[in-house]
Structure 1
Amino acid sequence: MQDLKWIKLDISMFEDEKIKLIEQMPEADTILIVWVKLLAQAGKTNANGYIYLNENIPYTEEMLATIFGRPVNTVRLALNALREFGMIHIDEDSFIHITNWKKHQNVEGMERVRQQNKLRKQKQREREKAKQIEQKPKNVTSRDNHAPEEEVEEEKEKEKEEENISTTTNNAIKFYEKNFGAASPYEQESILEWTNDLGGDLVIEAMKRAIKRNKKSWGYTERILKSWQKNNIITVEQANVEEQAYRNQFQNRKRKSSEQAGSTNDGYDYGF
């Protein structure tokens, strides 16, 4: 998710009791500046209120101090104050999330960007499919004769998938609440969006992997989904292939590292 240029701010934000309480604190102006900078940074990230460098690297206090042009101690003070007032949440992996992001974000703009990304991926799949058809041997005619029938079947499958969206979303939410705990309205909405984008099976698979890695949070689950979306993974089978490829790559690197370490020993016992 990217290309967002602006966010919305509630014109009554300074009437909020939390803001009024912050205004009575030392360094109040600086804390509020950091708050607005966090909102802007969340807009740049465009990940439903999360703020991070990438899906695997959260912003540290030092990194935010550099980006915001403020001393580290000031940023730390602001983050602590905002967290105490429930305006931000920092999960167990140190990822920052803006609480009630919908109050601050440009809903229409983000949805438009999301739909544009979705349309872009759909067109990419169509181009890849057309390329595969062009690469078929010209002497194969029997399958070409069935092409219209296959397209009709695909349309039926799409209609069936649309009918099952509600069911798969409910299944994903039920799985979440059974294994993670009660889902907040934000989490339910996020699960719905990801189910629409990638399907309920893939959303549940991401939750299973979060559980397996002892990272039972929606934030971690969503980062898995973002990684899959970035790599155009749309089925559980593709996710399994990617994971196996990663494991093989890791084992190869580990073996090469071991071989290089062993090559420094010529095998001769010098007696010391």
Structure 2
Amino acid sequence: MGEVKWVKMSIDMFDNRKIKYLRGLPEGNNIVLIWVMLLTLAGRCNSNGYIFLTENIPYTPAMLANELGFPESTILVAMKALESMGMISRNEENTLLIPGWEEHQNVAALEQIRASNRKRQARYREQAKIEAVEQETPPPVEEKQEEHEEPEEPKPSKKAEETKEAKILFERLWSLYPNKKGKGQVSDTAKKKLLKIGHEELERAIQRYKTELEKEDWRKPQYGSTFFNSGYVDYLDANYEPGKREPTKQQKENKFNNFNQRDYDFAALEQALTGG
């Protein structure tokens, strides 16, 4: 579908009982603002009320917090309140949906636009056929390009598509990680390795690491660059051994263990030493 530049909102919107109820809640004004921002996102997606980053990647609360500029805790409060009022929902793939989306769109006008586009495309194709017959050449989509014509824009290569998917996945994972330092030091090659492992397993790896940090308050989280270059390996499904990294009794009694532990960004240090 084409891009939509507007959504419908009633001028008596703030007299609506649901809106009044929401404004009376803690963070109420922010909840209503988030609701309006979700309407604009749905309009931008223009997919019958569905809201997503791409058709295959639904928004998570962390991603919405980054997109809308609110703390994740506020997003979670708003989502719970809006779902309880039936103003948003999720489908089986966990994709956000605005129920009754047609209330916020001029459905008749949109259908007229689509019909007009279909007629214009049909006229264009018919005219192209006529010109092709007159010139005794194939239709424009199949004819060979003249030397003075600009070449068609090449389709993205498989490698470029893989790099794009890897970057999208990395952004999702980065939003989940607690220490957001060294982001630029994670190379495209490292991101492609993450893509081969997959989002679900890496999300489990991050959660395992965060759980260990909660249990061991003497540890500080690695820089994000360190974790996503190699630190995640110990927390993958095939490698993870719960409790393996817990300090021994001797380590706990060591007086030097009372000092704050340093966490080095080994990827940055290696780059500095090699002059890269």
- TM-score, normalization: structure 1? 0.44
**Higher helix fraction: Structure 1 or Structure 2?**
1
In our comparison, the structure showing a higher alpha carbon Rg is 2
When the two structures are superposed, what TM-score results if normalisation uses the length of structure 2?
0.43
